[in-house]
Amino acid sequence: MSIAPPRTRYRLWTAGLVGLVALAAAAGAVGYLRWAPGAGTPPPARPAPLPAADIEVRVHNFCGGSCHAYPPPDTFPRRYWRAEVERGFRFFEQSGLSLPAPPVESVVRYFEDRAPEELPAAECPAAGRPLGVRFERVSYPGPAAPVRPAVSNVNLVRLSAPTTGAGPLEVLACDMQGGRVMLLRPADPAPAWKVLARVANPAHAEVVDLDGDGIRDILVANLGSFPPTDRRCGSVVWLRGRADGSFTPITLLDNVGRVADVRAADFFGTGKLDLVVGVFGLHAAGEILLLENLTENWDKPRFVPRTLDARPGAIHVPVADLNGDGKPDFVALIAQEHETVVAFINEGGGSFRKQTLYRAPHPGYGSSGIQLVDLNGDGSLDVLYTNGDILDEPYLYKPYHGVQWLENKGGLLFEHHPIAPMYGAHNAVAADLTGTGRLDIVAVSFLPGDKFPDRPARKADAVVVLEQVAPGRFERHPLLTAECDAVVCAAGDLYGTGRADIVVGNFSSMTTDHPVTIWKNLGGPAAGSPRQRPAR
């Protein structure tokens, strides 16, 4: 089913000049989702700089009423602010708005005078003792393909198990570069990847029995374009499971911006699964949609869309009952210049009340992912959150990137706690890796080698375990450095050992063409570095 596109929106320019500078700073890339525009023609010459006191007032006033936070000068080194300001002015000029803007040279000087020469280094102290478990690295070649895989999502599922949900976990992976949805069963005697379906640019996949026939299906969020774009090339593809184990692709939604996430729940209370769709888009084509399930005949599925939020930049839209009223709600991570975590509380009949759970301190924060999980074991769902988007020029090691915890204090109030800084932190998931009964965290970073050639010298962390040694207190255990080529990870028991293993997707590595690396949990006390076994 296709829908008519919503009207084009350019609300990014309505916040004023500093908002535009913020947009330039925030127009980076959540891995594969967003980018910074090219330089283009420089703006025309501006009048001489205004006095410092005058420009400070005008900069702050012009940013007043913005939907995002003011961009502090210390978010970039001094030498980069001219390019950021000039890019912001280009956005402003393209908008056609007739707002009074401060002179560009005055704005440049305002930020340069307040910016540091260099960003400070992040403090990333490792634990003073070894992790209590050992890991063994295992990987398997992917199916033959003309391009290396770029794994944008890994999900641990029981796709092949009976309807009871028993059986070993399997690895469901989206290869965004090769256009493949693939499955690996690590517990098999001879594990091998199987291509389940081909989708242009799959960003996320969820297992669900959408049509209620007792056979598991897969919902795929399809970006529709590997390069970022505002074209309406995104879609939601239903891989309808068949009794013989095959899947039939059926498009449920198209003609929208690049779709980053899709989740299913009975939002209307009708007994049918509806869909919430996170359309990242880019600058204008993004939104969050609710697709009401009005299907009568599953050979002709019918989903009717409505817009719940018109902002571009939605990355994840996980579902949960946040207020305990029995109705499914969801939480959205909205990036771009918004950099916010928003709860959508289900009030019935397709109506949702929005409540902001967290707003990042500045629009260049680089939000990259969320997971809903009871991190401290108090019975309430928290938000595990990463910010580490780095694919915007200039390519910098940003000390404010890392792993964050939004602690649920009740009444939809969430308290922010920084857990650990991590350059390029792109995804984190919680699992009891050490067998203590407390949830630990595994996090991965994305610092592609062509943009960060000094990452080996920096010893930048690529895979980190954050061991929860007491409720809310974590110690850092790097498992891998320098190979910062992952945008996704997952954790769960792949081998039936009762221990949680780690799966890390390969997005940009030039040293292997294996889709994922499994860090097999061997248990027992660690002895030095994690063991490694040659790839099979």
Comparing C-alpha atoms, which of 159, 179, 177, 176 is closest to residue 168?
Answer: 159
Which amino acid is located at 332 in the chain?
A
335 located within any domain: no
Q: Is residue 71 in some structural domain?
A: yes
Place of tokens 């919902």: 219
DSSP state of 16: -
How many Å apart are CA 263 and CA 482, to the nearest integer? 33
The pLDDT of residue 68: 52
* Structure token digits, residue 42: 């420089």
Label each residue of 187-235 as H, E or C. CCCCCCCEEEEECCCEEEEEEECCCCCCCCEEEEEECCCCCCCCCCCEE
Q: Using an 8 Å Cβ cutoff, are 388 and 423 in contact?
A: yes
Q: What is the pLDDT of residue 37?
A: 36
Domain membership of residue 76 as a residue range: 52-113
Which pLDDT score is estimated for 95? 65
Tell me how long the chain is: 536
Reading the chain (536 residues) residue by residue, the pLDDT tens digits are 333 322 222 233 233 444 544 444 444 445 556 533 344 445 555 455 556 667 777 766 555 444 456 788 999 999 999 998 888 778 777 766 666 777 888 888 889 999 999 999 999 999 989 999 999 999 999 999 899 999 999 999 999 865 556 678 999 999 999 999 999 999 999 999 999 999 999 999 999 999 999 999 999 999 999 999 999 999 999 999 999 999 999 999 999 999 999 999 999 999 999 999 999 999 889 999 999 999 999 999 999 999 999 999 999 999 999 999 999 999 999 998 899 999 999 999 999 999 999 999 988 899 999 999 999 999 999 999 999 999 888 999 999 999 999 999 999 999 999 999 999 999 999 999 999 999 999 999 999 999 999 999 999 999 999 999 999 999 999 999 999 999 999 999 999 999 999 999 999 998 889 999 999 999 986 444 444 343 33
Q: Which residues of 283-318 are buried (b: 16+ CB within 10 A; e: fewer)?
A: bbbbbbbbbbbebeeeeebebebeebbebbbbbbbb
Closest CA to 502 of 449, 456, 466: 466
Residue 424: inside a domain, yes or no?
A: no
3-state SS string for 45-109: CCCCCCCHHHHHHHHHHHCCCCCCCCCCHHHCCHHHHHHHHHHHHHHHHHHCCCCCCCCHHHHHH
DSSP-assigned letter for residue 236: E
Residue 315, in any domain of the structure: no
Question: Mind giving me the DSSP string for 389-415?
Answer: ---SSS----TT-EEEEEEEEETTEEE
How far lies 109's CA from each of 10, 41, 63, 488, in Å? Answer: 28, 20, 17, 39
User: Does 57 reside within a domain?
Assistant: yes
Beta bridge partners of 329: 320
Sole residue written with tokens 């076994």? 533
CB neighbours (10 Å) of residue 116?
12
Paired sense of beta strands 134-139 and 531-532, if any? parallel
Q: Regarding beta strands 303-309 and 287-293, do their DSSP bridges make them parallel or antiparallel, or are they unpaired?
A: antiparallel
Token reading at 435: 């067998």
Q: Which residues pair with 357 in a beta bridge?
A: none
Give the pLDDT of residue 15.
Answer: 36
Note whether residue 132 is domain-resident: no
CA angle 259, 426, 140 (to 5 degrees): 85
CA distance 107 to 101: 10
Please give the tally of structural domains in the chain.
1
Alpha helices (H) in 371-510, listed in sequence order = 455-458
Residue 81 covered by a domain:
yes
pTM: predicted TM-score of the whole model, two decimal places: 0.89
Question: Of the candidates 495, 423, 496, 434, which has an alpha carbon nearest to the alpha carbon of residue 470?
Answer: 434
Which is nearest to 365 in space by CA: 334, 331, 409? 334
Residue 449: is it exposed, middle or buried by C-beta count within 10 angstroms (0-12/13-18/19+)?
A: middle
So what's the pLDDT on residue 165? 60
Judge whether 93 lies within some domain.
yes
